[in-house]
Amino acid sequence: MRRTLGSCYYPEHWPEEIWAEDARRMAEAGLTWVRIGEFAWSRLEATPGHLTWDWLDRAIGTLGGAGLKVVLGTPTATPPRWMLDRHPDMLAIDEKGRPRGFGSRRHYDFSHAGYREEARRIARLLAERYGRNPHVHAWQIDNEYGCHYTTLSWSEAARQGFRDWLAQKYQSPDALNRAWGNVFWSMDYATFDEIDLPNLTVTEANPAHRLDFHRYASAQVTLFNRAQVEEIRKLSDRPILHNYMGRETSFDHWQVGRDLDAASWDSYPIGFLSDRLENTPERKARFLRQGDPDNQAFHHDLYRGVGGMGAGRYTPGGRFWIMEQQPGPVNWAPWNPAPLPGMARLWAWEAFAHGAEAVLYFRWRQAPFAQEQMHAGLLRPDSAPAPALAEARQVADEIAGMPEAGCAPGDVALVFDYESCWAWDIQPQGADFDGFRLAMSAYRACRRAGLNVDIVPPDIADLSPWPMVLAPGVMILSGPLRAALSSYTGRALLGPRTDVKTPDFAIPVPLGPRLEGVTSVLTESLPPDASEPLEAGGAFRHWREWLEGEARVYERTTDGRAAIMGADHLRYLAGWPDDDAFHRIVSDLAREAGLHPVDLPDGLRLRDTETHRFLLNYNPEPVTWDGVTIAAAGVHWTPR
Amino acid sequence: MRRTLGSCYYPEHWPEEIWAEDARRMAEAGLTWVRIGEFAWSRLEATPGHLTWDWLDRAIGTLGGAGLKVVLGTPTATPPRWMLDRHPDMLAIDEKGRPRGFGSRRHYDFSHAGYREEARRIARLLAERYGRNPHVHAWQIDNEYGCHYTTLSWSEAARQGFRDWLAQKYQSPDALNRAWGNVFWSMDYATFDEIDLPNLTVTEANPAHRLDFHRYASAQVTLFNRAQVEEIRKLSDRPILHNYMGRETSFDHWQVGRDLDAASWDSYPIGFLSDRLENTPERKARFLRQGDPDNQAFHHDLYRGVGGMGAGRYTPGGRFWIMEQQPGPVNWAPWNPAPLPGMARLWAWEAFAHGAEAVLYFRWRQAPFAQEQMHAGLLRPDSAPAPALAEARQVADEIAGMPEAGCAPGDVALVFDYESCWAWDIQPQGADFDGFRLAMSAYRACRRAGLNVDIVPPDIADLSPWPMVLAPGVMILSGPLRAALSSYTGRALLGPRTDVKTPDFAIPVPLGPRLEGVTSVLTESLPPDASEPLEAGGAFRHWREWLEGEARVYERTTDGRAAIMGADHLRYLAGWPDDDAFHRIVSDLAREAGLHPVDLPDGLRLRDTETHRFLLNYNPEPVTWDGVTIAAAGVHWTPR
Amino acid sequence: MRRTLGSCYYPEHWPEEIWAEDARRMAEAGLTWVRIGEFAWSRLEATPGHLTWDWLDRAIGTLGGAGLKVVLGTPTATPPRWMLDRHPDMLAIDEKGRPRGFGSRRHYDFSHAGYREEARRIARLLAERYGRNPHVHAWQIDNEYGCHYTTLSWSEAARQGFRDWLAQKYQSPDALNRAWGNVFWSMDYATFDEIDLPNLTVTEANPAHRLDFHRYASAQVTLFNRAQVEEIRKLSDRPILHNYMGRETSFDHWQVGRDLDAASWDSYPIGFLSDRLENTPERKARFLRQGDPDNQAFHHDLYRGVGGMGAGRYTPGGRFWIMEQQPGPVNWAPWNPAPLPGMARLWAWEAFAHGAEAVLYFRWRQAPFAQEQMHAGLLRPDSAPAPALAEARQVADEIAGMPEAGCAPGDVALVFDYESCWAWDIQPQGADFDGFRLAMSAYRACRRAGLNVDIVPPDIADLSPWPMVLAPGVMILSGPLRAALSSYTGRALLGPRTDVKTPDFAIPVPLGPRLEGVTSVLTESLPPDASEPLEAGGAFRHWREWLEGEARVYERTTDGRAAIMGADHLRYLAGWPDDDAFHRIVSDLAREAGLHPVDLPDGLRLRDTETHRFLLNYNPEPVTWDGVTIAAAGVHWTPR
Ligand SMILES: [Zn+2]
Ligand SMILES: [Zn+2]
Ligand SMILES: [Zn+2]
């Protein structure tokens, strides 16, 4: 696999006179790709039905003519103002019942049939015009689904759609009442038309009601995406992607991934550290200009997995890109410092080490106007090079000197389930509990142990490729995964809170998990200053369960309860270990699985490809490990 | 008085096949009571007017047949979905003007006349069917009035009702304008129809406007409750109760209590510690699995008082129950740990020591579905015993070995006034000020001193039974209480902020309190890190007043101002003492009153009944006091 | 200039029988001024069109007869209830789209033409009646514009008005699209009627859209004020004022000031410390009963500047008053302690030292009713003297013994720009960034250095009166100021973030600032625990810029970047220095400018008048400086 670079470009933002020079400089900087078009609807169709292709024709021609490959985006994340006149009810409605107005982006409702057809129409028109254009080498559908809390809309369209969806799923109100347990507070429905969306209730709505609504909403994202994919597929054989976001768990990416050829994501390491990741204040300060050392890798491994859904079912070694890579300070995080020198290079190499095909910096030139005017690019607004340009150039040179290679096979499969994230969100039981956070804890433990991780979907049917499997917090266990685990011969660790709910979001009777000799009989959530110490060191935090049963106890809390229990190949973890304990547990299990875990210093991480081992130092000072000294913000690679 | 146990049971949640076995196990566990029915409306009346009694007949028969006494609840806290079609405007409206939708519970407006009649109707139908049923030994009206902020509704029904209420109270707009001081910001009204509810104003609404609205809203709770009581009284001679909540001050429980035979409350010690009580982080951690050592006792003493209103006026030694007792982790607090072993027993004995007639654990079996599926019961969802069951069994055995006894007469009367809580809420003057919190401070001081407390209403007319009286924060002093205090011969301590407002929520001129030789001339609120040290030790926090007058000064702050001032029998406290100072002040006063205060260690509390002294250890380790060692989470009793 | 005292009085709140006695006591206390009428609309016009003048005639007569001068307020901040029947759509709408109801004050929309005419009408009627009244010596228009977040209203009236305003400004939608950069997210408009207000968007609205809306809203305040001024000017030759608020930056006071004869402001030092000023917890505790030692002075210097706009353009030495001076605890801050003894005197003398003509205590007597019943006055509600009365009396005596004098000419001109405050608010880039806060930092540095500051408008055209100029955070530099700076021969320090945006709220290309040899090429915001140390001591916090260019570097950060750069007369500051560094930088510059900076102890401040140097000690203990010991909360003056 050839590694490539690129950048995001908005010809409509700049005078046509400078397009050619921009294209020349991109090529000169070693860039291969240029992404365009995804916010340009108002310039493509200034009035309904009147398409203006000429400027885009020329832009594609100019860029392609300079040797660049174009990724063409559909502009459906930014419907123009006139769209509201055609579909006044297409605006998403927030959880408090207020329309989310025009004037920024993503102001559409995924449930709105009329807008979905408009999206299909513009995708078809683009495909008709550029489906065979020699410079268009890939497609992007829409932009950052779910961003700005847009998966869930509490609209009339959603209400009607949800009722239909429920009617199809349950067939009768009685079946729904039974499934949801509506007897509980006299919440029984006599017809599907009585069912409202689960917002604005007096106290919490039925969790089954909420989970079904989230399933419905996630399905609308899939359908919205599919409508566009269908049109483009008919007219182009180039790969179709979407650019997912970081820590965006509001819809099921595995499902959307089935319709796409590759995944991509938008990586803003410093912004994400600041605005969406749990860390102590000390770690936030230490990695202020680098980002969390595990967050990018987590998403690379996740989206490589999502990219692997292209065949309709999961296959390891999926294709993925970084569609937007932070190059400097951004504008949208609470605070926006500049990256440490070297990080724009490190982030790119880390992506490649995890199997990325392409890394596109966002954006080519900083826009001097509108919402993101304080968002750095590879060029400054005055077209002078910004600091990241030289780092991109260096990466381009380094790529040229390296063999083509994908990533090494995974040591560990980590099951990541979006539905469980919704379930945690709906029923956290502890105020600081979160499904992504738990998965990240498990992932961090693996990364500290130097293990190569594949993140896999919750319905995976074959676990045989991995010596080790982790499935934390997968509340509802799928049939395929249950079957795969039952015949698994490596080392699998489920829990905490795995296989403890039915698909209807109820507690199963008999109690879960359905693991021989292990029953979870009581659950406790703990405030941040409480913990349950483990005999072997460290402690459970946030969450612990009381286990019963005849299975072997591998480890105990100091109050004598089972902390890990089960059998050789399949065990259950009864709580949420702190970082040190999780690393110890994962490392012990890895050794049993025949792997060779290490203990990497904080901020130093490694990743193997088919040909090399990469060491990435997120620290602001050099680190020496295994005889090698890696510079601050440095990357080091050795052949394997 | 015979002490009894019970549990809350929902036959409609379970297959009828297991009812008999459940009943048998309840009886076997030593339970006397079973509460049923309060959320079952949709199963009693699935479509309007079509009543389905058979299942409830059989459930009552089965439970009664096993020797259990049934408490039958009216299901008015959970109107079924069809009720909204009959009364589309019955939904409560939140303070921001949004309807509070169907899908959970308590979604009705106390002001809505139509729904009030529906509530009356279902109560009548239940009473007609079960008023003479031999197994139905008590009634519960509705469930947890006020819970989920439901006392106040900002609806059109409330607006119309409030206007009528104001017209009746003031007779003329001019009288209202004078009473409220509407001249202040040109807020004068020409007609009652011009008056809106006091929400959504630009800056704070007139406090008199807000207080009157709160009085109106509280009166609607009383009327709503009374409508149902009236129907049941006609057809049953069994006692009628309501289950009040913890730290729920949004309506006047004393008034509701006048219409009921006994009070009851829902005691969730661990949940309440976590979600509604002020404590330092250290104390929250120390009592994480036990609850605040004074909170349950406070509510026992309060609701014993409210139970004493059954005759229409307060009588000491009222009847009260614990209608819901936490048995294990709950689902609704920010964090939900399990109780320390022994607490399910301790809480029950503490209730009995304070005079409870019955303690019902909530609930018999954990429901595996819907909102409270993570709320523990005496049984697990799989019907195996949960930890609390054995503790309940132990309490049942212990009860059998004890004589019948009520609680000992009170050493101290603590005046608790809901209206003052509203007044504090409306005009806290300091951001962390709260009427309940102040009352709890005074109560804690008494409990630490080992004093038996009776909590009494603000219109109490006879204080002669008590050697000592505390009346903190009773902003508006009633005529009867003023009269009772003026002839009181024990030791009474008023203040801070007692008798300092007129019934119209104005500052009286001459200034209050109307205490000979004591005038409160200036008030200050203090941020958490500020305090005013007391010469005798400790400090005022949150609040202090400047007193003037000729009365004797008993104690001073170090800046020379009077801290306690007055005469032998009646004194005024000029600030909010910290815990140590409050204990010292209360102890000194108790000695003057001829009592024998002690200084109990933190977490150890005592209560006297007619026959025994009970020692209750909330600590997670044993405590030795007065020659006795009480185990962690232990109860000790000795004959008096 | 004769210094005078006064108080705010509400005859309509009190029985007419006590007016004469009140007036006598005011005069006896040494007060000159009495402000009346500004909330009395409902008593002047109880029903529409029926004016009741008699009581006001008598009140003015009584007060004037006692020798007092009346300031008569227009009551437009409190339209009566009937006004809503005439103009149901006059209510302001909050940012969430909810009408802001009747029942407090300021419930009108500045954009509402109908209400603006009502305001004009009542102003005209008052002027007709009292324009030549011998006792009416000044006028106040409305009350505290902007208070309670009332400048911005998201109403239909505002929407229509904004569209018109935009149409006038831009003439064509295309021009607007270009100016705002609406191409960015397909936000182009085809007609002005498509443009909504920039609230309730999915993610942030276009900053140019927001800034224009803020400009529009600020202009409405000016027009609303002007309507009343026009009427009164026709009929009275007395000075017309408005009472501005503290830290109120939501409208452009410089513009409003053009239509008025003098400025005034409402000074609540303790309330403001508590509710609207950044300080460490330690400083908040230290100055709890005194207020921030620089906040009052800042506003005095600011409003003296605003008062200097009376001629239509800025002139130094403008006229200003304190229309409301805190006399004791207030009711509206989070906590409300009493002032330290002496502060009511200190605050008054500080105002006089900064050039105030009059200081009016708010209010004469504490009102026992309605919203502000806990707000102290000079008298208690029972008419006994409150502590501040004696201090006011002392000030009156001291005034009599002092010569008439204005303040000394300024050492430093500090440019303060409301538009930049809006721009910071719209695009803070760092979560704790704020334009006022930055200006206050610069001001504090000057005050600590003992410099006399004049605060000047952003379009000032002549800087020659000042040896030194500071212009921090003035994002958009005006033409006149640019011209004045280019010919300036003193020492001017711009930045951080000065001259870095175009008037359309875009980044200029070439990049700003337009300062020879200095370009700001990258900006970073820093979280509170991060900083960039300066070689010369201290550090940049919150914000730093990367400078490039050929100009001289005066100071560097320890990472080698320029911290101050430019030329002798005009330099650029590349970050936000901490307090110590800012004081050092200002002091060094002052010495270069030929001034003699000092280093005053914390809490001690000085101000020079034409005749005296005043030393003001905000500390709770005596301070000795320059051989003089100033008592706690004390004032010391020496002839210059
Ligand atoms: Zn986004
Ligand atoms: Zn409740
Ligand atoms: Zn105000």
Nearest CA in chain A to B153: A202
Exposed / middle / buried, residue B517 (Cβ in 10 Å: 0-12, 13-18, 19+):
middle
Ligand with the closest atom to the CA of A333: 1
SS3 annotation, C334-367: CCCCCCCCCHHHHHHHHHHHCCCCEEEECCCECC
Answer yes or no: is pLDDT of A1 > 80.
no
- The H-or-E segment that residue A562 falls in is strand A562-566
**Which of B104, B283, B366 should be substituted to probe chain A, the one whose Cβ sees the most A Cβ atoms within 10 Å?**
B104
Chain A residues with beta carbon closer than 8 angstroms to that of B16: none
Shortest CA gap B497–chain A (Å): 34
The contacts of residue C259 (CB under 8 Å, 6+ apart) are C222, C225, C226, C229, C240
Contact between C605 and C295 under an 8 Å Cβ cutoff? The reply is no
- Which chains lie within 8 Å of chain B at 3 or more CB pairs, if any? A, C
Residues around ion ligand 1, judged by CB within 5 A, are A 144, 147
The Å distance, Cα C299 to ligand 3 centre, comes to 15
pLDDT at B435: 96
Contact between C378 and C25 under an 8 Å Cβ cutoff? The reply is no
| CA A382 – CA B447 distance, rounded (Å) | 73
Nearest CA in chain A to B108: A202
Answer yes or no: is pLDDT of B1 > 90.
no
Q: Which amino acid is at C74?
A: T
Cα–Cα separations (whole angstroms), residue A601 to A277, A449, C242, C494: 20, 10, 64, 45
Cis peptide bond N-terminal to A387, omega within 30 = no
Instruction: For residue range A288-302, list pLDDT tens digits in order.
Output: 999 999 999 999 999
Ligand with the closest atom to the CA of C78: 3
The contacts of residue C280 (CB under 8 Å, 6+ apart) are none
pLDDT at C26: 98
Instruction: For residue range B566-601, list pLDDT tens digits in order.
Output: 999 999 999 999 999 999 999 999 999 999 999 999
User: Pick the catalytic residue: A118, A231, A248, A324?
Assistant: A324
| CA C457 – CA C253 distance, rounded (Å) | 10
- Residue A33 phi, psi (nearest 5): -105, 150
Picking from C96, C187, C431, the nearest residue to A98 by CB comes out as C96
Residues of C recognised as catalytic: 144, 324
The structure tokens listed for A230 are: 């269908």
Instruction: For residue range B109-159, list pLDDT tens digits in order.
Output: 999 999 999 999 999 999 999 999 999 999 999 999 999 999 999 999 999
Active site annotation includes A144 = yes
From chain A residues 85-144, the ones with a CB under 8 A of any chain C CB are 92, 96, 98-107
Q: Which of A215, A76, A202 is nearest to A152 (CA)?
A: A215
Answer yes or no: is pLDDT of B555 > 90.
yes
From chain A residues 145-164, the ones with a CB under 8 A of any chain C CB are 147-148, 150
pLDDT at B312: 86
Chain C residues with beta carbon closer than 8 angstroms to that of A99: 200
Instruction: For residue range C222-261, list pLDDT tens digits in order.
Output: 999 999 999 999 999 999 999 999 999 999 999 999 999 9
The Å distance, Cα B356 to ligand 2 centre, comes to 21
Q: Which of B572, B478, B581, B452 is nearest to B519 (CA)?
A: B572
Q: How many helices (H) and strands (E) does chain B have?
A: 18, 24
Instruction: For residue range A470-526, list pLDDT tens digits in order.
Output: 999 999 999 999 999 999 999 999 999 999 999 999 999 999 999 999 999 999 999
Contact between A12 and A40 under an 8 Å Cβ cutoff? The reply is yes
pLDDT at A312: 86
Helices (H), B467-578: 479-486
Contact between A155 and A93 under an 8 Å Cβ cutoff? The reply is yes
pLDDT-derived band of residue B213, with 50, 70 and 90 as boundaries? very high
pLDDT at B77: 98
| CA C191 – CA B278 distance, rounded (Å) | 56
The contacts of residue C172 (CB under 8 Å, 6+ apart) are none
- For B198-256, give the DSSP string: S-SBSSPPPHHHHHHHHHHHHHHHHHHHHHHHHHHHHH--S-EEEEE-TT--SS-HHHH
User: Pick the catalytic residue: B45, B231, B248, B324?
Assistant: B324
Contact between B316 and B465 under an 8 Å Cβ cutoff? The reply is yes
* Strand ranges inside A134-208, DSSP E: 136-140
| CA C381 – CA C369 distance, rounded (Å) | 9
CATH architecture of C412-592: 3-Layer(aba) Sandwich (3.40)
Nearest CA in chain C to A338: C524
pLDDT-derived band of residue C312, with 50, 70 and 90 as boundaries? confident
B180 is in an annotated binding site: no
Half-sphere CA count of B80, side-chain side, radius 13 A: 23
Whether the CB of A29 is below 8 Å from some CB of chain B: the reply is no
- For B360-385, give the DSSP string: EES-SB--SSSTTTTS--SB-TTSSB
The Å distance, Cα B95 to ligand 3 centre, comes to 23
The chain-wide mean pLDDT, for chain A, equals 97
Chain C residues with beta carbon closer than 8 angstroms to that of A274: 527
- Is CATH 3.30.70.2740 correct for A4-154+221-400? no
Residues C593-596: contacts with CB under 8 Å, at least 24 apart = C593/C411, C593/C467, C593/C468, C593/C490, C593/C491, C594/C467, C595/C411, C595/C451, C595/C467, C595/C468, C596/C450
Contact between C40 and C75 under an 8 Å Cβ cutoff? The reply is yes
Instruction: For residue range B265-290, list pLDDT tens digits in order.
Output: 999 999 999 999 999 999 999 999 99
| CA B329 – CA B300 distance, rounded (Å) | 21
Whether the CB of B431 is below 8 Å from some CB of chain C: the reply is yes
Instruction: For residue range B370-382, list pLDDT tens digits in order.
Output: 999 999 999 999 9
**β C240-244/C262-267 pair status:** parallel
Answer yes or no: is pLDDT of A239 > 80.
yes
Distance, first Cα to last Cα, chain B: 17
**β C604-608/C612-617 pair status:** antiparallel
pLDDT at C311: 80
Q: Across the interface, do C328 and B207 touch by the CB < 8 Å criterion?
A: no
| CA C541 – CA B141 distance, rounded (Å) | 61
B215 is in an annotated binding site: no
A331 is in an annotated binding site: no
From chain A residues 511-550, the ones with a CB under 8 A of any chain B CB are 511, 521-527, 529-530, 546
Instruction: For residue range C153-164, list pLDDT tens digits in order.
Output: 999 999 999 999
| CA B327 – CA B390 distance, rounded (Å) | 11
| Stretch C305-311: mean pLDDT | 94
Contact between A206 and A227 under an 8 Å Cβ cutoff? The reply is no
- The H-or-E segment that residue A491 falls in is strand A491-494
Apex CA A180: angle with CA A515 and CA A254, to 5°?
Answer: 60
What pairs with residue C136 in β-bridges?
C70
**β B468-471/B453-456 pair status:** unpaired
Answer yes or no: is pLDDT of A2 > 90.
no
Q: Which of A466, A460, A157 is nearest to A308 (CA)?
A: A460
**Which of A84, A290, A369, A379 should be substituted to probe chain C, the one whose Cβ sees the most C Cβ atoms within 10 Å?**
A369
| Stretch A577-602: mean pLDDT | 98
What pairs with residue B636 in β-bridges?
B615
Provide CATH code, domain C4-105+119-151+225-400: 3.20.20.80
Distance, first Cα to last Cα, chain A: 17
| CA C179 – CA C162 distance, rounded (Å) | 16
Shortest CA gap C31–chain B (Å): 23
Domain boundaries, chain A: 4-154+221-400, 157-210, 412-592, 604-639
Answer yes or no: is pLDDT of B209 > 80.
yes
Instruction: For residue range A542-571, list pLDDT tens digits in order.
Output: 999 999 999 999 999 999 999 999 999 999
Shortest CA gap B220–chain A (Å): 19
Cis peptide bond N-terminal to B163, omega within 30 = no
- Maximum CA extent, chain C: 76
Answer yes or no: is pLDDT of C17 > 80.
yes
* Strand ranges inside A141-246, DSSP E: 240-244
Ligand with the closest atom to the CA of B243: 2
The structure tokens listed for B411 are: 């050493």
Q: Which of B244, B213, B360 is nearest to B309 (CA)?
A: B244
Q: Across the interface, do A186 and B75 touch by the CB < 8 Å criterion?
A: yes
| Sign of the alpha-carbon dihedral angle for A421, A422, A423, A425 | positive
| CA A613 – CA C453 distance, rounded (Å) | 63
| CA B599 – CA B230 distance, rounded (Å) | 47
Whether the CB of A382 is below 8 Å from some CB of chain C: the reply is yes
| CA B329 – CA B402 distance, rounded (Å) | 30
Question: Strand order in C570-573's β-sheet?
Answer: C453-456, C412-415, C468-471, C491-494, C570-573, C562-566, C552-556
The structure tokens listed for C107 are: 């419930």
Answer yes or no: is pLDDT of A32 > 90.
yes
DSSP state of C166: H
Contact between B495 and B513 under an 8 Å Cβ cutoff? The reply is yes
Picking from B107, B284, B366, the nearest residue to A202 by CB comes out as B107
Answer yes or no: is pLDDT of C55 > 90.
yes
- Residue A372 phi, psi (nearest 5): -105, 30
Answer yes or no: is pLDDT of C1 > 80.
no
A633 sits in the region (left: phi over 0; alpha: psi -120 to 50; else beta) called left
